[in-house]
Structure 1
Amino acid sequence: MTIVRRAATADAEVLARLLWDFNTEFETEVDDVDVLTGRFTRLLGLDEVVAVLAEDDRAAVGFALVVLRPAIWFDGPVAQLDELYVVPHLRDRGIGTQVLDLCRGLAAEQGAPEMHINVDEVDADTRRFYERHGFVNVEDGTDYRMLCYVGPTSAS
C-alpha cells in the first residue's frame, strides 16, 4: 500500500536521493545527493515550498516539489510544480496521480487557484499524464500553445 504525505525537513535526504535518481534516469546533469540534501533542507523550511513523498512498505517510491509564488492576476499564489517523480518499476499504478492530487490539494489550501508545470515537448508520456489530469498548454479562447523560456539572470 502506498502512503502519500507532505514531506518534512527530516525527509530532505530521501527527497534528494529521489531527485538524483530522477535526473540520472533521464541522463540529466545533477548535483551530488549531499548538495541536494542541503538544498531540500533549506527549501523545506520555507512556507512557500511544499514537498510530497510517496512511500510503499517504508521505501520512498516517488515525490513532488511545489513552489508557491505571488501572483498579480489573482489574490492567491501560483503553484509551480517543479518536480514529480515515481520510480520506474511502479509507474502506471496511480502513485503519480496520488502525488499530484495531494500537491493540488495542498496548493489549494494555500489559496493557489492554478498550478503551472513545465514539460519537455518530446516527453509524450508525461504530457499525456498531465493532460489526463486537466492541464493544458492552450488556454481557453486562444489557438496557440504556451511556451516556457529559460535564460540567464544577467544581460549578455
Structure 2
Amino acid sequence: MGRMSAPVASSPPLTIRRAEQADLPEVVRLFAIPDEGNLKREDAGPPLPACYGEALARIADDPNNMLLVAVDGGQVVGAFQLTIIQYVAYMGGRVAMIENVIVEPEVRGRGVGEAMMRWAIDEARRRGCFRVQLTTNKVRERAHRFYERLGFVKSHEGMKLVL
C-alpha cells in the first residue's frame, strides 16, 4: 500500500514592496556584503547611522523614486532602487533606471533577482516608460549574463566621475 502524505504548508510567496524604515538594517547589511565589483562602503552598525533613514525618507517623498525590497517568509532577501526619469528629449518620454540591485547570497539562483527585475519592468510599463536601463560593474560577468537573459542589451558604455 502507498504512503499517504499530509499536505505541505506552503510559505507565502515572494513579495516586492517599498522599503520601510524597519527594513533598513537588513537592506544596509545586504549592501555591505563584499561581492564581485561591490565598491560600496556601508556602515551596518549597530547602531545604524541616521543617514540611511534620512535617505529613505527623501526617497519616500519622491513619487518617481523608490527603494524596494523582496521579502520571503518575512525576511528581506533582496533590494533595489527604481527611479523614473522624465525627459524633454524622446518626445517627453520617461525612462526607468534600476540601481543597487542586491540579493542575499544564500538565495541567489532561486528567482529572487528575476522577480525583482520583472516587477521593475512591469512598473516601468505601468508608468509609461519607453525604456528600462541599469548599470552594472564591468567585472560582474555573472550579473551581465543574468541581465542579458532578461532581455537587457549592452548598448552603451557608462562613465562615472567620483566626487
| TM-score interval, normalised by the smaller of the two chains | 0.7 to 0.9
In the alignment, what sits opposite 1:95? 112
The residue number in structure 2 matching 1:151 is: 161
Instruction: Check conservation: 2:31, 2:40, Cα contact below 8 A.
Output: no
Matched, 1:40 2:50: no
- 1:141 aligns to what? none
Q: CA RMSD in A?
A: 2.0
Matches within 5 A, 1:77-156: 77-138=94-155, 146-151=156-161
The corresponding residue for 1:69 is: 85
Are 1:25 and 2:41 counterparts?
A: no
Residue 20 of structure 1 deviates from its aligned partner by 4.0
**Cα displacement string for residues 17-68 of structure 1 (whole angstroms, at most 9, x for unaligned residues):** 3244223323634343432222012112211113322111111111111111
Letter in 2 for 1:61: V
Displacement, 1:152? 5.7
1:49–1:65 CA contact under 8 A, matched in 2? yes
Q: Flag structure 2 segments of 5+ consecutive residues without an equivalent.
A: 1-10
Q: TM-score, normalised by structure 2?
A: 0.78
The unaligned stretches of length 5 or more in structure 1 are 139-145
Q: Which amino acid aligns with 1:39?
A: A
Larger Rg: 2
Q: Confirm or deny: 8 A CA contact 2:59 2:67 kept in the other structure.
A: no
Percent identity between matched residues is 21
SS in 2 for 1:44: helix
- C-alpha change, 1:76 and 1:24, in structure 2 (3 Å) is same
Number of equivalenced pairs: 144
Asked if the contact 1:16/1:40 (under 8 Å) is kept, the reply is no
Q: What is the CA–CA distance in structure 2 between the aligned matches of 1:19 and 1:136, rounded to whole Å? A: 29
CA distance in 2, matches of 1:135, 1:64: 17
2-side partners of 1:74 and 1:29: how far apart?
36
Q: Where has structure 1 moved over 4 Å in runs of 4 or more? A: none
